[in-house]
Each structure stands twice: as C-alpha cells, then as structure tokens.
Amino acid sequence: MVEKKSRRKSAHYSACYDAIIKHLNEFSRLYDCDIFTNSVTEEFLDDFIIYLENCGLRHNTIVGYILKMQSMIRKASQYNYAVDATYDAIDMRTEPTFAVFLSMNEITRIYYKFENQDKRKAKERIRALFVLGCLTELRYSDYSILMATNLQNRYIVKRTKKTNVDVKVPAHDYVKEIFAKYNGQIPSGLCIQYFNKYLKLIMREIGLNDKTTFFIQKVENLKLSLVKNGNW
C-alpha cells in the first residue's frame, strides 16, 4: 500500500514538473528569452504569473507552480548555481474555495442585461464570452478562441488545449445566437485579468454580489460553478 501511494505521489510530482517545464519553454519561446537559474527573479516570476493567468490556469494551480519553481531555485543555490536573491520575494498563498451555482434564469439575466446598453460594447463582449463559458463548459483558454468552424450542426466541437482531447457539446440557442451576432468571430483579445475585472462589475449590476472568480464545472441543468475568492 505504501509503495503504491509512493508511486502515485511520484507520478503526480513528475506530471506537475513536466507541466511547469512545458509552460517555461512556451514562455521562453513567446518572449524570446533564455532561462537560467539566475534568470528567475521577482520580476520574471511576476511576468510568468501573468502568462499562466492568461493560459487560464486557476490561482491555486499557479501558486503550486511558483512554489515548486522557488523550491528548485533554492535547491540550485544549495549546489552553488548562480541565483538571483529576489526569486524568493514572491509570496503567494492558496485560497480556500467552495462552489456557488447560478441557475439558468440567472444566466439568462446576464445574457440579456447589456443588450444595447454599453456604447463601448465592453460589457456586452464580456457577457457573450461568459455565457459561452457557462453553456459549453469549456475552459477560458478554449471558449475564448472559438471560431465559426467550431459550430458544427447543433454542436460545439473543439480540441481542448490543456488535455488535447476532442470534445463535442450541444450548442444552446444562446450559443448559436452569439455566433450569429459576431459572424462566427467570437470576441477575443481579452486577457483573463481584464475579463475577470469586468465580470465582477457585471455580477454586481445584476445583484450577484458574492466575491467570486469563476471556473466552469460540469453540473446538471446547465448551472455555472463559481469559486469563492476571499481576495476580491
């Protein structure tokens, strides 16, 4: 039993470090920078955190990644590799979470709330993306880049970024209307921080005042799972 638990734990850590390395390689490619032990500074970690948020990772996942990176740099220092002392200045903490649910009626209120109200269309675009997330149950990194080709007959068909798996989700009427309204070009170019900022305003305006950020979880009756976040 102990051996089995040990193997499972080892596999978990291995997968976690593989994911970190994958993200670091992509970060290095995007920003054309080589990464060494002394490259991991406070400023570097701040930028990397923003990159991970834009990838759609949840706060507690990001905290785990950063803590493991700091642990690796600390170990490198013990073996006399050059490190920058500011790497340890980032102090992130996990946040307790519990689920709160929106009913379909509340999703409908969000869907119709900002029609013809916002001259800049910012809230309308956020609303459209949010409703897409509710009704497709995809991650932000997936539903925020949906295109006309993903709407096939009565389904949303998409290969997910994180798991590289093809998913097929029934397309709700609201989803079809959003695709039609934007001519198949779903509102894009919104970073996750900007998205969450305006989403909070939208929630307050329709009377949902819980301090929340959200993630989509598969639940019955097309309900939305929101994660309570005490740092709001």
- Nearest partner of 128 among 81, 170, 172, judged by Cα: 172
What predicted TM-score, i.e. pTM, was given to this entire model? 0.50
On the 0-12 / 13-18 / 19+ scale of CB atoms within 10 A, 96 is exposed
User: Each residue of 162-197: pLDDT tens digit?
Assistant: 777 888 999 999 999 989 988 888 776 566 666 777
How many percent of the chain have pLDDT more than 90?
17
Phi-psi region of 85 (alpha: psi -120 to 50; beta: other; left: phi over 0): alpha
Residue 72: CB atoms within 10 A of its CB come to 15
pLDDT, mean of residues 131-144: 83
Amino acid at 125: R
User: Each residue of 68-121: pLDDT tens digit?
Assistant: 999 999 999 999 999 998 888 877 765 554 455 677 888 888 887 755 555 556
pLDDT recorded at residue 194: 65
* 227 vs 202, higher pLDDT: 202
φ and ψ at 147, to 5 degrees?
A: -130, 170
Domains of the chain with bracketed CATH: 2-89 (no CATH), 99-228 (1.10.443.10)
